[in-house]
Chains A and B, each alone.
Chain A
């Protein structure tokens, strides 16, 4: 690979910015189709009720109304599926109850879809929805894990006794128990991983259309993975063949996991468009987004770490209870299992690790992936526990980590993963240096003089991303492969269209992927465009999540480019009257090795499409597709350091410094990588200090708008100090690992460790996320007696 001004490693300005900056982005709600009607989704106002009956007559008679459909109308339609089958400890499959797109007989959370009202205008649809008379016969609700597992708790599903979906485990329990028996020290911790609302700033939206002339359905939707939606909606819910169902995810205003799942609204809209033969549009209001976008996290855990007399980790035992919400969303079941339990080796050589996870149905919004998905939960628990161990053993917080680091690779963990490469000392040293860890006590003293309690916290972590090898995930219960496709079309005059099955909703793929292709083919960056988000244009795709787009999708593109080059060599060999083996390709030129005889990619492309003088038996055209199925997860790693100041009078926590030292593998565009890290850090600090999705006992959302759910704002955050130490992933040709989730995985425990460090002089030794002002103040009050 050659480095040039716009090639790999350059902070190229983004191609997508011109349209976004001038208001020419095309988001789903910006699209209007001729003859379009508007759908309003009527949602359950109560968390749990039998539906005695629904009277739609008044709504039907309201001005402008074309149709009102309820669960009964859609009864023949398939259930919204989940993507991952988990087995319990005893080998039994998880309980997998049906999820009707529109509720049938029962509603299970406040926000459950009850009816769609279709009218000429948005206002008419909404007004008419108020006239739908639903007889809700309220039932007791279970709005938390504690409520779900209580004796005599209400049952979300009859087929799930005790509201348990599965009781899963990973690791060697016997070996782990044995490790504790001989241990010099055992350190325990209880942690809660707070429930979050993803809050992409673009609310979800969809427009469905049906063309009776072709029997073809088209769905514009705010999705991170249009092909996955086609698969789930087409094959499982509506029974439509792929060639008659086109999914378009145009510009999408952020996802963070909440736009992965196949949502009921997508099925309702598409089915309704088929019924009416007209386009139907729906745009979620924020107030409804809070109670219908999948939520994230929501774990309660207890864990213990066994250590020898010198602080060497001997064994880790984790018991977690996870809240899955009212229905099983697309990735819901794998997030607290295969994206969580297998992370517990962290960067440490702990020889015995065991994790058990019991997951519960509750009368709350379904829970699914949210930036990091499982890995933040694991990292938070582990890094809080390691910090606590350091304190209890009287050890230095840095040294206890360092002395347990993995240093030999590949490293097989006791919880299924094999790390291919890493250098945890390097990122630790970098972070200590960049954060001036050694100089902290002076800053603490300076803050104390101002009446502030200053603390510093650290987290050393690995993550598993770039998901995922299909055979591995298939053996673990995934119902799809997690490969990716890439196509590279070199046009006759040498410009290039790249088609990727990943989806960019902020990540800058249109730029990063163009850099790769431009660099490899030696064509001008401006001559490469990346196409994504349309199932009719892209061969196939699994989409963007789990920090997979570069490592998996980028590699597919890389392989497609290699195929293009291979074919180009054959054409060039013919033009140059040389043997294919002698053709070398570099900087856009095919050259006969050791000579100055060469031809350009442009000439080769033109020849491929005007094949008058052409190799015998070779197909015309210069377009190649590659599917890439990764050989392993990738393992970004790093050290995050947070420094906070607490106002002991108000409990207010101010994050004053954040330092990241990360190993994210090969960096294609440092500017974009920094942006991804910043965003993840903000999300992680939001979880640690501000964001809390709180349900009342009756299943009503207490934090259901921006008036009471605290989104991180500019003034809540500091500037971030970002540093890199790169080791390359060994099993993809780009050496790429992934960066989109690093911040939200690494920083929350560093922040909470810093808060505890700040408050320890006041007698506070524990803190629950989010460390809100009130919670911190209460902890100080309690400690001071």
Chain B
């Protein structure tokens, strides 16, 4: 089987995987990074969002091979030790999560937005989150968390 190599959360990781292996399966099953979740099979729910070379993508709609050589960041790579990333902290502070299943994708998506827009409006946050489904929160607190997190990030991370 072919080898893919990528930098995941700052560490070089390799694996021998079938070409059809999706990035999310490589992360979850080969690297044991189970923080990235799978909630659908039609690229809609966004539970699987990770960063590839700094932008958010749906890891269920990306081959591991397509990320060969890339810098990949997952939810496990966001915090600095036990110190939460400002976006994670904002989600905690604003109760932007309940069951936690959509949360990793939601946070990774939010960080991408904040990197582009340090002070997004409510409308901009809601539009940006189109690719992330949450069934628990009604999005109200997620929106507040993303706005606060973006401000806390100070316009980039």
Contacts and interface: CB of A to CB of B under 8 A. Distances in A.
A touching B, CB within 8 angstroms:
yes
Interface of A: 13-14, 16-27, 29-30, 199-203, 251-254, 256, 285-287, 505-508, 671-672, 674-675, 678-683, 705-707, 711-715, 717, 719-720, 743
Given A202-B101, A682-B138, A14 B133 contact: no
Contacts of B35: 22-25
A678 B36 contact: no
A717 B44 contact: no
A711 to B, nearest CB: 5
Interface residues of B, number: 52
Contacts of A20: 97, 99-100, 103
A26 B140 CA distance: 25
B92 A254 contact: no
Contacts of B4: none
A22 B84 contact: yes
Contacts of B95: 13-14, 671-672, 674-675
A199 B44 contact: no
A286 B127 CA distance: 24
Given A30-B34, A201-B102, A682-B138, 16 more contacts: A17-B91, A17-B97, A20-B97, A21-B91, A22-B75, A23-B33, A25-B35, A25-B100, A680-B138, A705-B42, A706-B44, A711-B133, A713-B133, A714-B127, A714-B142, A714-B143
B45 A201 contact: yes
B7 to A, nearest CB: 17
A507 B135 contact: no
A506 B99 contact: yes
A720 B101 contact: no
18 contacts: A20-B103, A21-B88, A23-B36, A24-B76, A25-B35, A27-B34, A199-B135, A506-B136, A508-B98, A672-B95, A682-B138, A707-B44, A711-B135, A713-B130, A714-B130, A715-B126, A715-B127, A715-B129
A201 B101 contact: yes
Contacts of B137: 675, 678-679, 682
Contacts of A201: 37, 39, 45, 47, 99, 101-102, 133-135
Contact of B138 (A200, A252, A256, A717): A717
Given A13-B93, A675-B98, A202 B39 contact: yes
A667 B81 CA distance: 34
Interface of B: 28, 33-42, 44-45, 47, 74-76, 78-79, 84, 88, 91-93, 95, 97-104, 107, 122, 125-127, 129-130, 132-143
Q: What are the 10 tightest A-B residue pairs by CB atom distance, in nearest-first order?
A: A23-B35, A253-B101, A20-B100, A682-B138, A506-B99, A506-B98, A678-B138, A23-B75, A30-B34, A706-B44
Contacts of B37: 27, 29, 201-202, 253
Contacts of A23: 33-36, 74-76, 104
A682 B139 CA distance: 8
